[in-house]
Homo-oligomer: A and B are copies of this chain.
Amino acid sequence: MTESNALYAQSGGVTAVINASAAGVIETIRKHPDKIGKLYAARNGIIGVLTEDLIDTSFDSAADIAALRHTPGSIFGSCRHKLGTIEKNRAQYERIVEVFSAHNIRYFFYNGGGDSQDTAYKVSQISKTLGYPITCIGVPKTVDNDLPMTDNSPGFGSVAKYIAISIREAGLDVASMAQSSTKVFVFEVMGRHAGWIAAAGGLAAEKEGDAPHIILFPEITFDPKAFLARVDACVKKYGSCAIVVSEGIRNAEGNFVADSNLADAFGHKQLGGVAPIIAKMIKQELGYKYHWALPDYLQRSARHIASKTDAEQSYAVGQAAVELALAGKNATMPIIVRDSNHPYRWSIGEAPIEKAANTEAKLPRNYITEDGFGITELCREYLQPLIEGEDYPPYKNGLPIYIKLKNTPVAKKLEKTFEV
């Protein structure tokens, strides 16, 4: 066994399949005991690094690690914490080097989205900036699908599948009730800056009249008049109207509609959610009875209906991250490459982390129909393979079995503590 250890951590909003990436990292490292000694995990992402709050993954059985593939959430804890620049926050970087050095950590794998890859990039530069030899590989993940370079972001396919299934099911519900009761259903989905998740709802509409009838994207300025006219026409034609709305839609002034309170002259903000605002607007202007839903965390943790494609890709980027590290790469990130659409084929490529950091890939305009209320065939062709396949977890007592690891702490070696 070598003395070079590795450290893995998860960061940012979690996904249904981020732990599949963890499994990919851990299982691949276990195949190379000659090259990597211990694999540690940092509790709560970079915070666990700074506070020397490490976990020794070697106490967990192969079966338990394999079960990560079907367990949602972040098995080692996540965080929302970005490293500042080394110029202004040198103490933080020195602390990271102290922790790495104390535990012989030579490989660092950071699993997250754009903000997290910014942190990963900064860590990858420590060899240059502070002279500590570290190999840092980013592992991509985000439900928002807004990472650049990669064809799609691991984590997105599962939320896309959940949203498409949910609006199909709720669309049948509202259509059932419409004759004498609820005629409009408003479904709010995540994606504050990019409409990928909202677009995924459009996959449910395969035939004329299918739900969703309208999608509101953050990329399209919200026009209440055009929207209400469309809702009215939809109810008159199909009897009911199912709407997917992104949390991030903005009005003509560029403000989030969710932050507006159209009903309240006193300026009191809503407690959250654009769906109730849209729903009330419909009631006031058109008189239709409505229901609305806001699944929030449910959409990004719905491992019970994860996309098989997504689960496989999430595992693959974890595996590839280790292979890249062992091949001597640094400051890089495995990405998904789409090799063909019919049949769908993908492979793993790589891209510099630096370019993944702090960039948001928005929905291209030609993925949205000209009227701004739906997705084009081009968009459907892009999205469809990402939700392909079911990958059910095992069940016991009617509920999915989600693993908890031992999360055995590593004894601290540093005397000093560090405040984050």
A38 close to chain B: CB less than 8 A = no
Binds B, one of A248-256, A324-332, A386-394: A386-394
Contact: A268 with B264, CB < 8 Å?
Answer: yes
Q: Which of A249-281 contact B (CB under 8 A)?
A: 263-264, 266, 268, 270-273, 276-277, 279-280
A280 to chain B, nearest CB (A): 5
Contact: B77 with A176, CB < 8 Å?
Answer: yes
Q: Which among B175, B270, B276, B298 is the interface contact of A170 at CB below 8 angstroms?
A: B298
Contact: B161 with A400, CB < 8 Å?
Answer: no
Say yes or no: A294-B294 contact (C-beta < 8 A), given A398-B307, A399-B387. yes
A149 to chain B, nearest CB (A): 24
- 21 of the cross-chain contacts (CB-CB < 8 Å) are A13-B177, A47-B179, A73-B169, A73-B172, A74-B176, A77-B176, A78-B177, A80-B177, A168-B400, A169-B298, A169-B302, A169-B402, A170-B301, A185-B297, A203-B398, A204-B399, A268-B268, A270-B276, A293-B295, A293-B296, A384-B398
Contact: B266 with A277, CB < 8 Å?
Answer: no
A14 close to chain B: CB less than 8 A = yes
- Give the residue among A71, A168, A297 with the most B Cβ atoms within 10 A: A297
Contact: B298 with A399, CB < 8 Å?
Answer: no
Contacts of A280 in B (CB 8 A): 271
Contact: B293 with A79, CB < 8 Å?
Answer: no
CA of A71 to CA of B194 in the docked complex: distance in angstroms?
32
A397 close to chain B: CB less than 8 A = yes
Closest to A242 in B: B297
A83 close to chain B: CB less than 8 A = no
Q: Which of A60-113 contact B (CB under 8 A)?
A: 71-74, 77-81
Closest to A400 in B: B165
CA of A266 to CA of B266 in the docked complex: distance in angstroms?
8
Contact: B173 with A297, CB < 8 Å?
Answer: yes
CA of A104 to CA of B198 in the docked complex: distance in angstroms?
49
Say yes or no: A395-B400 contact (C-beta < 8 A), given A44-B180, A271-B263. no
A231 to chain B, nearest CB (A): 17
Q: Which of A153-194 contact B (CB under 8 A)?
A: 161, 164-166, 168-170, 172-181, 185
A291 close to chain B: CB less than 8 A = yes
Contacts of A400 in B (CB 8 A): 165, 168-169
Contact: B180 with A79, CB < 8 Å?
Answer: yes
Contacts of A277 in B (CB 8 A): 271
Contacts of A264 in B (CB 8 A): 268
Q: Which of A382-420 contact B (CB under 8 A)?
A: 384, 387-390, 392, 395, 397-400, 402, 420
A120 to chain B, nearest CB (A): 17
A141 close to chain B: CB less than 8 A = no
Contacts of A279 in B (CB 8 A): 271-272
A304 close to chain B: CB less than 8 A = yes
